[in-house]
Amino acid sequence: MSVPDFQTLMLPVLVQIGGSQINTAAEVREAMAAQFRLSQAEREELLPNGRQPRFANRVGWAISYLKQARLIEAPRRGQYTLTERGREVLASHPSRIDIQYLERYEEFRAFRSPNVIDLNAISFNPTETDAIGVSLEMELTPDEQMRSGYRRLRETLGSELLARVKEGTPRAFEELVVDLLVRMGYGGSREDAASVVGGSGDEGIDGIIKEDRLGLDAVYVQAKRWQNTVGRPDIQRFAGALQGQRARKGVFITTSGFSAEARAYASNLQTTIVLVDGVQLAQLMLDYGVGVTEAETLKVLRLDDDYFTQD
């Protein structure tokens, strides 16, 4: 089965801690993994930051919320036991413990009040992978909420960025392509790159740019600010132009998209042709800071357990 969300874990974690005098965090995780019959792969699946298993993170947040509601306490670092309140809760045999349940406790409300992240107040265009709607906060840990909110903000900004690019002139698009390629490490200096990108498009090639600063290899560029989908014939013409130049590498950048036939054709060529559609173009612009500026930096901190174990 899939990794349960952290609120689903709250009651089983409380029961586990109540079943023994003292439980370590590792013992709680092992018991939860066994109870929910998680595979080794599910136990080891990492968060997007690649630093912590998703399952361990969710168990940790379940423990943290129970502790904030004063249902459990930690007599020693990483070791947990029930409080009197926690024993009373288990004696009442609740069917589920979640955020709504814990809101009955003043300490938990005080803990939550300055820290709630209302992601539903953020304007964005939902995707299929984000179709969790208003239940988002009820499903995800605060870590996951923050990353989900960041992803949604990025998707929204990417859409706005692409719309702005489409409104510009062909010359502005050529300048954008130059800026992006240089930021990505191609073309040497901007002056060098600008002198070879944005030409007449002779034989389907808009420019030739250095792959590295030394110019050990060249990348042929086709940049099209189009509204219509780029089809296979367009890629065939670009591939033919590359063959005429005995070129091995090409990049076709467009503000629109590529048909399935165009992508299939490009993937079967001996010559390497990288297709960059409008969505990927916007994401690359975000990654390399083209057309955007930093508005705010949020520093995410974590508890330093080593600090509290020093003699």
Residue 130: is its pLDDT beyond 70?
Answer: no
The alpha carbon torsion through 69, 72, 74, 77 (nearest 10 deg) reads -80
**Order of all β-strands in the sheet with 79-82:** 23-24, 79-82, 72-76
Residue 119: is its pLDDT beyond 50?
Answer: no
CATH number at residue 232: 3.40.1340.10
Residue 38 lies in a domain: yes
What's the total number of domains in the chain?
Answer: 2
pLDDT score recorded for residue 203: 56
Residue 219 lies in a domain: yes
Q: Which residue has the higher pLDDT, 278 or 169?
A: 278
The predicted-structure confidence for 53-112, as pLDDT tens digits, reads as follows 889 989 988 998 999 899 999 888 778 999 999 999 999 999 999 999 999 999 888 877
pLDDT score recorded for residue 84: 96
Write the burial class of residue 253 (CB in 10 Å: 0-12 exposed, 13-18 middle, 19+ buried): buried
According to the per-residue pLDDT averaged within each range, which of 36-45, 122-131, 302-311 is highest?
36-45
The predicted-structure confidence for 147-195, as pLDDT tens digits, reads as follows 777 887 788 788 888 888 888 888 888 888 888 888 888 876 666 665 5
How far is 103 from 55, CA to CA, in rounded Å? 24
> Pick from 92, 116, 140: which residue ends a domain?
116
Residue 311 lies in a domain: no
pLDDT score recorded for residue 42: 93
Residue 149 lies in a domain: no
Domain hosting 101: range is: 1-116
Q: Are residues 86 and 181 in the same domain?
A: no
Q: Are residues 181 and 111 in the same domain?
A: no
CATH number at residue 2: 1.10.10.10
Residue 93 lies in a domain: yes
Residue 128 lies in a domain: no
